Amino acid sequence: MQCPKCQQPRTEQQTTCSQCGLVFHKYDDYLRRKENLAQPASRSELRERLIALRGSLAVPTPSMDRYLGGYLVLWGLFGVWGLSYMVLSVEELGRGFHFMHQVNLPFHEAGHVIFGFLGQFIGSLGGTLGQLAIPIICGVALLKTRQDTFGASLCLWWFGQNFLDIAPYMADARAGELPLLGGNYGKSSPYGFHDWEYLLGETGLLAYDQTLAALVQNLGRLIMLVAMLWGGYLLWRAHRDKSNR
């Protein structure tokens, strides 16, 4: 028998290599983990993982037991707030002051900087990617660190609202009438300054800006609705569990 690292001869009773110091049982564990990672998960394993994930997402946030009333009020406020966005048309979403647009804007601009290193097209798309990525990152962080399913549902609400924020500027690709950062307008700016004029122009989809904007808007509405249903289910389950004690 030999050490797998330095080929030094060893006996069956040895636990550590006398030459390189390799701990044999730890090395064997490493090889087993490496082999498991290299093997694709079977359909049954994937199904079990999905069931486990679904089950974990249905567990109320631990603090909901003590502050159920506060969570209910928060859920109601987000429901009304979300509805105030969902009932607006694309044109109405593009006009006036919307608080969430100011929240999303810094992440949008940061996305341009972060993804800008990958070329002009990805850099232009990076603004949209940036503002969509932040709610996902926040939601995953809440689930991983605090098992905060209710907080994650609000992050999903935020994720959906971002689509409502994107839709007006997608619909404005040809018209170029909405104000852009710095006081510019798409119709008076050089080609490439208006994200969606450039993105749809480069992909040959500019003529479909209105259709795509409507699809994005409705997708956002659906996501926000799912988020509120998720939060509502967590509240119902927390109330049921508390009543059964």
Domain assignment present for residue 131? The answer is: yes
Cα→Cα distances 97→94, 196, 228, Å: 9, 21, 24
136 token code pair: 């996902």
Provide the mean pLDDT of the chain: 89
179: pLDDT strictly greater than 90: no
16: β partners: 23
**207-209-210-214 Cα dihedral, nearest 10 degrees:** 140
pLDDT tens digits along 120-178: 999 999 999 999 999 999 999 999 999 999 999 999 999 999 999 999 999 999 998 88
Whether 237 contacts 58, CB under 8 Å? yes
Rounded average pLDDT over 57-80: 93
83 or 10, greater pLDDT = 83
Q: What is the pLDDT of residue 42?
A: 66
77: pLDDT strictly greater than 80: yes
15 or 240, greater pLDDT = 240
- pLDDT above 90 covers a percentage of the chain that reads 61
Residue 184 has phi, psi (to 5 degrees) of -85, 170
37: pLDDT strictly greater than 70: no
pLDDT tens digits along 192-229: 889 999 999 999 999 999 999 999 999 999 999 999 99
| Contacts for 140 with CB less than 8 Å, ≥ 6 apart | 152
DSSP secondary structure, 129-144, as one string: HHHHHHHHHHHHHHHH
Q: What is the pLDDT of residue 10?
A: 81
Q: Residue 63 and residue 83: Cα distance in Å, rounded?
A: 26
Domain assignment present for residue 24? The answer is: no
41: pLDDT strictly greater than 70: no
Count of CB atoms situated within 10 Å of the CB of 158: 24
Q: Residue 50 and residue 43: Cα distance in Å, rounded?
A: 10
Rounded average pLDDT over 74-89: 96
Domain assignment present for residue 197? The answer is: yes
Q: What is the pTM of this model?
A: 0.80
Domain assignment present for residue 146? The answer is: yes
pLDDT tens digits along 8-32: 788 777 778 777 777 767 777 777 7
Q: What is the pLDDT of residue 39?
A: 61
Residue 106 has phi, psi (to 5 degrees) of -60, -35
Q: How many distinct structural domains can be found in the chain?
A: 1
210 token code pair: 């209105």
6: pLDDT strictly greater than 70: yes
Domain that holds residue 87: 64-243
44: pLDDT strictly greater than 80: no
98 or 5, greater pLDDT = 98
Domain assignment present for residue 171? The answer is: yes
Domain assignment present for residue 49? The answer is: no
Domain assignment present for residue 50? The answer is: no
Alpha-helical (H) ranges within the chain are 24-38, 43-57, 68-86, 90-94, 99-115, 120-146, 149-171, 195-202, 209-243
Q: What is the pLDDT of residue 40?
A: 65
Is 191 strand, coil or helix? Answer: coil
Rounded average pLDDT over 60-80: 94
36: pLDDT strictly greater than 70: no
Domain assignment present for residue 234? The answer is: yes
Least confident of 24-28, 97-101, 162-166, 186-190: 24-28
